[in-house]
Amino acid sequence: MKRTLLIGAPKLLLAALSTTVLSACAGFTPLYGRPGVEGGLSSIETVAAEGRGGYLLREQLDDALAHRPGDPVAYKLALGVNEQRFSRGVRLDSVANRYELRMSVDWRLLDARTGVEAHKGRTEVSVTYDSADQPYAAIAAQNDGQERAATEAARKIQLDLATWLAGKKPA
């Protein structure tokens, strides 16, 4: 009988502790549930930067922000993309077989009516990829690296914009 009580006691303690912890989170509101965040994000129009990286980033941001062409625009997001590629893995014959791609995005959020800067930031992303000996495979690997970098940069920018919109006072 004592053994059953000792085994049941940790379970009872765990249940009481989890109830206490969950009740402390009663006032928690997720970022996307705050007033003005979801509608605010979809009212941002992305202006693509030059180059393939800028195009990929604009595509990812349009998806992440849920902006649809024709919807009312409150803000325009201007992007400046800089990409650098570094060789990281070198074979015995001094040929690089692994690369690092660093994407730096300087962005500015402009009021669509006045053109005044409302918010700005810099987002940096670094991804690595293997490079094969075959030319097509090497190009495909580099393109995949660019797509992954654009996806991650868009996610970081979306989070920064959502945080900013959540802290902004309603008009």
Domain boundaries, the chain: 32-167
Candidates 1.10.150.120, 3.30.160.150, 3.30.1490.100, 3.30.450.20; correct CATH number of 32-167? Answer: 3.30.160.150
pLDDT digits (tens, 9 = 90+) for 14-40: 555 555 555 555 565 555 555 555 567
Give the separation between CA 83 and CA 99, rounded to whole angstroms. 13
Cα 33 to its chain centre, rounded Å, is 18
Instruction: Tell whether pTM > 0.85.
Output: no
pLDDT digits (tens, 9 = 90+) for 40-97: 788 899 998 899 999 999 999 999 988 777 778 889 999 999 999 988 777 767 666 7
What strand order describes the sheet that includes 44-47? Answer: 44-47, 75-90, 96-111, 117-130
